[in-house]
Structure 1
Amino acid sequence: MRRRVEQVGAFKYLGTEIDSLLSFSQHADSVYRKAQQRLFLLRKLRSFDVRKDILTAVYKSLIETVLTFNITSWFNFISVKNKSKLSRIIN
């Protein structure tokens, strides 16, 4: 009896989305979306004249953690376009 083998296009392992080409473009896009959503909160807090040290703590706890989680395994494999998108968030 022959088993049918199905190929998986992409899967999520320990929070990192891995595709069959190891391009990590889906993962970079999802990190970008998460960081954008959290930047909205940071902008709202800034509009309420929250102190800079509190804004820094919010950035480091909510945004920087999303950007840097498991970064050593995927950052070198993403495209220049995705790298520039993520660097815009940091700036």
Structure 2
Amino acid sequence: MLLLLSHPPPPHPQSGPQPPRPPVKHPPPRPPVKHPLPRPPVNHHISEDLSWTTNTASLAKKAQQRLYFLRKLKRASAPPPILTTFYRGTIESILSSCITVWGSSCTDYNRKALQRIVRTAERIVGVPLPSLQDIYTTRLTRKAITIVNDATHPAHCLFSLLPSGKRYRSLRSRTTKLTNSFIHQAVRLLNSLPSRLPASRTTRLAGV
């Protein structure tokens, strides 16, 4: 004898107003992720006597370590354009980091130590590479012209023209360290340029 079991019928919905549903609780918003500030690729060192010996020694050590990877690329038969690009991105960028600040203040011994690394890289790459002095002169000229053309720059007032309008007024200095600082070297370099004045500055003085 078979017994048929049937499920009870579903209850009928109740008539009348339904009770209010509880509000949906959303999770609290997540706090913004604080990314650490990017550290500069090279840390610079200033001694108590305002010398750059420790700084240049640190730069030379970092650049010397990266010559290993340049030799590895050379052994892998990388073409000179690839070697030059790698040198400029990993070695020259270290040697010339903030060079407008310490380029004229470091000693001849430290300058020759950095230049030896450039010559070593030049032999590995097989093409001529710019010397540190050329890089320093180029960047110093570019930075000085930028300051002269930017009236909002804090150092703009230090580049004042003489009444002749052809040279900048040289700043007085009593010490060698101040003479070798950025502003003094920039004024001296601008006065030695063949054109004397940047193009935009000359145009403004002419009243055009």
TM-score category of the 2 structures, normalised to the smaller one = 0.7 to 0.9
How many residues in Structure 1 have an aligned counterpart in Structure 2? Answer: 78
- Say if 2:77 is the partner of 1:20: no
Alpha-carbon deviation of 1:75? 1.8
- Say if 2:37 is the partner of 1:37: no
Q: 1:50 aligns with which of 67, 71, 78?
A: 78
Which has a greater percent of strand? Answer: 1
Helix, strand or coil for the counterpart of 1:17? coil
What letter is aligned with 2:106? I
Deviations 1:41-74 (CA, angstroms, capped at 9, x unpaired)? 1011101111111101100100110011101111
Alpha-carbon deviation of 1:36? 0.3
Alpha-carbon deviation of 1:15? 2.7
What letter is aligned with 1:75? G
Distance in 2 (CA, whole Å) between partners of 1:88 and 1:62 is 16
What letter is aligned with 1:71? I
Distance in 1 (CA, whole Å) between partners of 2:79 and 2:72 is 13
Distance in 2 (CA, whole Å) between partners of 1:16 and 1:36 is 16
Q: Could you tell me whether the CA contact under 8 Å between 1:24 and 1:78 is conserved in 2?
A: yes
Distance in 2 (CA, whole Å) between partners of 1:36 and 1:22 is 24
Higher RCO by CA contacts (8 Å cutoff, separation 6 or greater): 1
Distance in 1 (CA, whole Å) between partners of 2:52 and 2:103 is 8
Helix, strand or coil for the counterpart of 2:64? helix
Q: Could you tell me whether the CA contact under 8 Å between 1:17 and 1:27 is conserved in 2?
A: yes
Helix, strand or coil for the counterpart of 1:21? coil
Q: 2:105 aligns with which of 55, 74, 77?
A: 77
What letter is aligned with 1:62? T
Max Rg structure: 2
Q: Could you tell me whether the CA contact under 8 Å between 1:22 and 1:77 is conserved in 2?
A: no
- TM-score when normalising by structure 1: 0.80
- TM-score when normalising by structure 2: 0.36
Computed over aligned residues only, the root mean square deviation of the Cα atoms, in angstroms, reads 1.3
What are structure 2's unaligned runs of at least 5 residues?
1-41, 120-208
What letter is aligned with 1:65? S
